[in-house]
Copies of this chain bind each other. A is one copy, B any other.
Amino acid sequence: MYEVEVKVPADHAEVRERLDALGADPVNAVEQEDTYYDAPHREFAETDEALRVRRESPEDADSFAELTYKGPLVEAESKTRREVETEVAEGEAAGDILAALGFDPAATVRKERERFALDGYTVTLDAVNGLGEFVEIETEVADEDAVEAAREEAFEILRELELDPEDQIRTSYLGLLLEAESEP
């Protein structure tokens, strides 16, 4: 599966009004704590990969953890990557296994995430600790040929939300946090 995703900074209050007007369906609200790992044998910053343990606490369900690998970009414009993921029963044990193999925790991203469904896309309102508010438009497609069309439709949804595709940020929250930390 290829994840097609566009992200812009946006004030959530205004976006909520547009989502309501467009008839978007609230999906859920969660807290996420994502720990990203450095590899012992590759520079993920250079290979453009990521390895993550996510602990997710939904508003109205049990917490769970996921182990995720993100491959290098296959389509730069929409940040499309190969993504492989599985839920794990014990997030802490998954982190311990990675650490034992020489993968070191590099940074942790904490956010409140609210999801809506709109026209087959997921619209996500993220309030990220230390970074502020963002909106993501996201879907998954089965093969690479379908990426371009999915990206164009994601841009169209941004416009319907009165947001500007030109504001697109291609840097991950992890990247933004590391940039913010490295500033004087």
Contacts and interface: CB of A to CB of B under 8 A. Distances in A.
A87 B86 CA distance: 10
Contacts of A69: 96-97, 100-101
Contacts of A9: none
B89 A93 contact: no
Interface size class of A (residues with CB under 8 A): 20 to 34
A67 interface: yes
Contacts of A94: 67, 86
Interface string A52-77: 00000000000000011101000000
Chain A contact residues, majority secondary structure: mixed
A88 B85 contact: no
A40 interface: yes
Interface in A94-126: 94, 96-97, 100-102
A4 to B, nearest CB: 19
A51 interface: yes
Contact of A89 (B71, B87, B91): B87
Nearest to A96: B84
A101 B85 CA distance: 13
